[in-house]
Chains A and B, each alone.
Chain A
Amino acid sequence: MKDQLYEYILMLGDNAMILGHRLSELCGHGPNLETDIALTNISLDLYGQVRSYFQYAAELKGGDATEDSIAFLREEREYRNVLLVEQANTDFAYVIGRQFLFDAFHLPLLEQLCNSADTQIQAIAQKSIKEIRYHHRFSSEWVKRLGGGTAESHTRMQEALNHLYPYTKELFTETEIEAAMRDNGKGADLALVKAAFDASVESVCNAVGLTLPEQMRNYDKGKYGIHSEHMGFMLSQLQYMQRAYPNMQW
């Protein structure tokens, strides 16, 4: 039971960490100063949430585990994030599309976790959800701006959605651990999350004539530790300091 809770916390934390890392890559590279600051602020919020999750995970694991060892000293197969958050910063539409799809999932997920039977998950969710609301607002506004902007911005937003949306199937494909956590009231019911996700994604896309591809990806196994080729590159950057200088402190 305790192991399942630990793994569940990793799923929550890893999604936030890998997306936070992708956003951090944009620091100094945003299309303008305001957007650059917004994206890095979102990254910072996500990293704050990751710390809360991993501090809790370290407590559950016991022994020498710390938030840092969990963040930086696992092997690729031990990370439980979905493939969507690994996707590259191809262009600004991809950055916004990835954020928008994740936020549309993250918000209703945390709404449920605010009532988790696990008091620590509940506390983290109640804290984080206030931040996620701002993220969701930011990314929705940008999808509307790009989708309803020029022919060029519309085309590129549509292309980004065509690439990214098929990855969202994985968000709602329940693993054994997620099913167990739903049953014991600690985790979320992904079917309910999906209903909210569909409603918010469709309303934003419909408003600006963006369409959602029908063909979804079927073999995504990020939650089981099987990642896309992006993951290794990201981890080598994320883990470099701890691997090169074990136990270093900042």
Chain B
Amino acid sequence: MVENAVHIENEKVRKALFELSDPEIPVLSIMDMGIIRGVEINGDKINIKLTPTYSGCPAMDTIATDIKLALDNLGFITDVDLVLSPAWSTDWITERGRQKLEEYGIAAPLEESMDKRALLHGERLVKCTRCGSTNTKMISQFGSTACKALFQCDDCLEPFDYFKCLK
């Protein structure tokens, strides 16, 4: 895992950003998601660089507005820039982020070659988020959002989302 490289000196800003989440995955902070790519504070001005997970992520505008509101409330004049490059990858989800996903019932992305074996060749590698069994199969390559695939566990029968590896 690549640790989230963004370093934020201002404790209040750090805390505010950690409290914001993607409305579609409310347990996961945008910091743990790895979509904040830069924080620049200049006096009372603050510039945030935000990158989308998927191009069509419908949550992006909401997240940008949430950031602006939260930081404006701390007394900053906030600017949010959407940056595309370098493109987001699931490697940017932090270890804590992966844990939160699993607790929420979304299986965290496997490493790339394992992901391919599970998605393309139907190998049983994705761990059920309910019972932990890997006796699972893909139901649909696209789940409730573009970033997820739909899986089902053949041991406990639970259907669950799997966060696809994106590289």
Binding site for B on A (CB under 8 A): 34-35, 37-38, 41-42, 44-49, 51-52, 119, 122-124, 126-128, 130-131, 134, 137-138, 141
Contact = CB atoms under 8 A, between A and B. Distances in A.
A52 B120 CA distance: 29
Contacts of A41: 142, 145-146
A128 B85 CA distance: 11
Nearest to B84: A123
B86 A51 contact: no
Contacts of A128: 55
Interface in B82-138: 84-88, 119-120
Contact of A127 (B87, B119, B141, B167): B87
B56 A47 contact: yes
Given A44-B56, A130-B87, A137-B119, 8 more contacts: A41-B145, A45-B56, A48-B57, A51-B55, A127-B85, A131-B55, A137-B141, A138-B141
Contact of B54 (A48, A137, A138): A48
A156 to B, nearest CB: 22
A interface majority secondary structure? helix
A48 B84 contact: no
A126 B85 contact: yes
A155 B35 CA distance: 46
B166 interface: yes
A106 to B, nearest CB: 13
Contacts of B54: 44-45, 48, 131
Report the 7 A-B pairs with minimum CB-CB distance, sorted nearest first: A48-B56, A48-B55, A34-B140, A123-B85, A44-B56, A38-B142, A123-B84
Contacts of B25: none
Contacts of B144: 37
A44 B86 contact: no
Interface string B51-66: 0101111100000000
Nearest to A49: B55
A127 B86 CA distance: 8
A130 B142 contact: no
Contacts of B150: 34
Nearest to B86: A126
B74 interface: no
A127 B84 contact: yes
Nearest to B167: A130
B142 A131 contact: no
Contacts of A127: 52, 55, 84-85, 87-88
Nearest to A123: B85
Contacts of B86: 126
A123 B56 CA distance: 15
B157 interface: no
A41 B142 CA distance: 7
B55 A38 contact: no
B85 to A, nearest CB: 4
A27 to B, nearest CB: 13
B6 interface: no
Given A34-B139, A51-B55, A44 B146 contact: yes
Interface string B153-166: 00000000000101
A137 B118 CA distance: 14
